[in-house]
Amino acid sequence: AQKVTQAQTEISVVEKEDVTLDCVYETRDTTYYLFWYKQPPSGELVFLIRRNSFDEQNEISGRYSWNFQKSTSSFNFTITASQVVDSAVYFCALSEYSSGTYKYIFGTGTRLKVLA
Q: List interacting residues with other proteins (CB under 8 A).
A: 33, 35, 37, 42-45, 47, 50, 91, 93, 97-109
Pick the closer one to other proteins by CB: 25 or 107.
Answer: 107
> Could you tell me the smallest distance in angstroms from the CB atom of residue 107 to other proteins?
7
Pick the closer one to other proteins by CB: 100 or 116.
Answer: 100
The secondary structure of the chain, three-state, reads CCEEECCCCEEEEECCCCEEECCEEECCCCCCEEEEEEECCCCCCEEEEEEECCCCCCEEECCEEEEEEHHHCEEEEEECCCCHHHCEEEEEEEEEEECCEEEEEECCCEEEEEEC
Pick the closer one to other proteins by CB: 42 or 61.
Answer: 42
